[in-house]
Amino acid sequence: MNFNFGAAKKLYARKLHPRLFIGPDDVEPLRRKARSPYGRKVMAALRGKLSPTIGQIVGSNDPATLLKPDKSNSFAPVAIGHVCEIGLVGLLDNDGDAIEAARRLLLNTGGCLGYGIGSEAFDLIASRLRSEDRRAFAARAAGAIRKQVPEARSHYLKHAGHNITIAQNMDWALFALLAIEGEPGAGELESEKADLLRFFEATLNVVIGPDGYPEEDMGYGTMVAGGIMGRLAEALRRAGLYDAYRQCPRYARFGQAILHFVQPWGRHLIVTGDHSDEFRWRETILARQASETREPALLWLLGTLLNDPAEEVLLRKGFQTPATLMSLMFADDFKKARHPSLTRPPTQFRDRGRGIVSFRSGWRPDDTFVVFDGSQRSPSAQGHAHASCGHFSLSALGEYFGIDAGRYNIEQNCHNVVLIDGQSGRSTNGDWSYAKHDGLLTDYLPDAFCDFAAVDSSHQHNCYWARRYLGLVKGDGAPSYVWTMEDINKANDWAEFWWQLHTSPVNTITLHDTRAEITGGCHGNRLDVHFALPAPDSYPKPHAVTLSQDEATPSSTHYITDPYQRAKRCALPLETIHYSRYVRPRLLAKVSGYNGRFMSVMIPRRITDEPAKIERLPSIDNSLAVKITFATVEDTLIFAYEHNLLEAGGVNARGQWCVVRQSRATGKVLTYALGHGARLTVDGKRLI
């Protein structure tokens, strides 16, 4: 199969099919692939899944009624969704019934088919259709294109990242145009083609961030970027019309960006927006980008992810793929998959456009993994934004400790952020409505010992200012842990600041005198959560903290009126961490003070380990410092709010923050990190 630029130009010139992803000369090699060990499994799954649908369509005396989508017809949507695969089985098996079923779907469902889906099937079986059927489908699709494109001209470029707009103009119109171009019933479409290509390029620059992350996060973002834009990018490249790899470098970064959001143990992406971790059509974009970027870890990602088990084919232990044309085409490549621990991609990632950061301590299943969300959003893709600036998701030791609550959880009270006086900064009033105020990622500093990032959530908090700083401390001698520093000013007055941690429904929260403990429901490992407050004499009245817990539910109460009933519908509790968390435990640390300035330290530990000891160290005013004591090492963590004077526990430095690790046995400095600084002295010895 040839995906080089212009590989299908001669097929278009000669008006031959298939041409979108394969050519006529590829059919026989594809049949051979269908007899290979992996290809045979894909084809067996397709035949088994599609046989009843094909039989029902072919056996119907009234296909128009059978295939008419309406609320009372549950069969039509299923059949329509499988039209491409039905066409594929017909082509490769020379199966007359499958071809007839695909033909009836193409001719009897009209615009409800979605011409993007139907066009791929049309391209596969066009040479087996009667000329009048080809003309009829092409004429109907061309009519839809001529109607759709003029309607889009006035608004498309203003919101080129909106998923419905994209589906109507890219998946339906542009994909259909590529399939029917040159057909007798299509007529002249050059003007529409020029507009659609311009739309495509604009959309590609919106739906994928400058560093590869999808604008609308997991679910919406991955399906649009991978399923619509990815398929179109490859078809346009073959047609010689647009080379996304050369003309839009961010497209080639998509797969490697998504790799940074897979859970340490694989299987699922972490949820980051108003959907699930779903990644339909992943086989197209991940397999192609694995080849183009020479990154076999993308093939591992393709095979470890699991969407709908009913649609997946298990090729080997831990590796599954959807039963589709693309899976069959790339079946031989799946043997080249390599775990990221072998290819060693960076453990840090940031997308400058979306303002989102991913840090991990390594690529092993039990490593610590944190996602930090700046909630920067493009005006061209409004619709699914959450008030998530400053939210973090945290996994470690095989447990999902700090979760993103997913769909319908729009407001701040549904995210791992700090609430002012227990309230979201801006309310959606119970509606399922996107957050209209952006956040801002203000800093990103990857480091071998301590990764660091910062956000400004003032707009979403609706206060004088709200900033959060986060670090991931790694290295030998201690578990990798996460710290946050809060800096919130409501209105130059006393307030109560609620630090939140929403956790998985299979986890439990235990409160102790000075810390909280989250026990994971997968392996029983723990997350200890500690807090440090400013010195009592720092303000006219000392800060105070009270720990508590409750159960949180979605903020879209007009849509989700029965969260407890919805939560019960999940067959297994673990399934609730992949879509909307309708009910989940929430840890609360209620800090009262004149300013919301305090520190949290979150330390994962195995069930057999003792908790680390944390004590606040005396430090100069307007700074916070703690000593964290592990079995063999001791960390000194200092943060200065504005003055950059870091002085505590024998450490004297100049910078925004520092972490110094010393041996408990000898006092020797083992490693350190200094954020935006130029001087570090420990126990009188100058290190920087």
Q: DSSP per residue over 462-484, as a string?
A: TSSEEEEEEEEE--TTS--EEEE
Query: What residues of the chain score a pLDDT lower than 50?
Result: 111-112, 115
Are residues 415 and 386 in contact, defined by beta-carbon separation less than 8 angstroms?
A: yes
Distance from C-alpha of 490 to C-alpha of 495, rounded to nearest angstrom: 7
Angle at 451 between CA 647 and CA 506, to 5 degrees: 110
Distance from C-alpha of 114 to C-alpha of 636, rounded to nearest angstrom: 59
Q: Which residue has the tokens 């959450």?
A: 386
CA–CA distances in Å: residue 622 to residues 471, 518, 640, 647, 675 = 19, 30, 6, 11, 17
Residues pairing with 55 in the sheet: none
Question: Which residue type is seen at 480?
Answer: S
Q: What is the pLDDT of residue 112?
A: 46
CA–CA distances in Å: residue 165 to residues 160, 204, 214, 381 = 7, 13, 16, 10
pTM of this structure? 0.95
> Tens digits of per-residue pLDDT, 169-196?
887 889 999 999 999 999 999 999 999 9
Query: Which residues neighbour 94 within 8 Å (Cβ) at sequence distance 6 or greater?
Result: none
Are residues 454 and 443 in contact, defined by beta-carbon separation less than 8 angstroms?
A: yes
Q: What is the pLDDT of residue 117?
A: 66
Distance from C-alpha of 644 to C-alpha of 623, rounded to nearest angstrom: 9
Distance from C-alpha of 388 to C-alpha of 490, rounded to nearest angstrom: 18
What is the residue-wise DSSP string for 494-554? -EEEEEEEE--TT-EEEE-SSEEEEE-TTT--EEEEEEE---GGGSSS--EEEEEEEEE--
Mode of pairing for the β-strands spanning 679-682 and 685-686: antiparallel
Q: What is the number of helices (H) and of strands (E) in the chain?
A: 23, 28
Please, what is the angle between helix 83-93 and helix 96-108, to 10°? 150
CATH number of the domain at 348-607, out of 3.40.1390.10, 3.40.640.10, 2.70.98.70, 3.30.565.10?
2.70.98.70
CA nearest neighbour of 375 among 472, 495, 486, 460:
460
- Domain borders along the chain are 348-607, 612-688
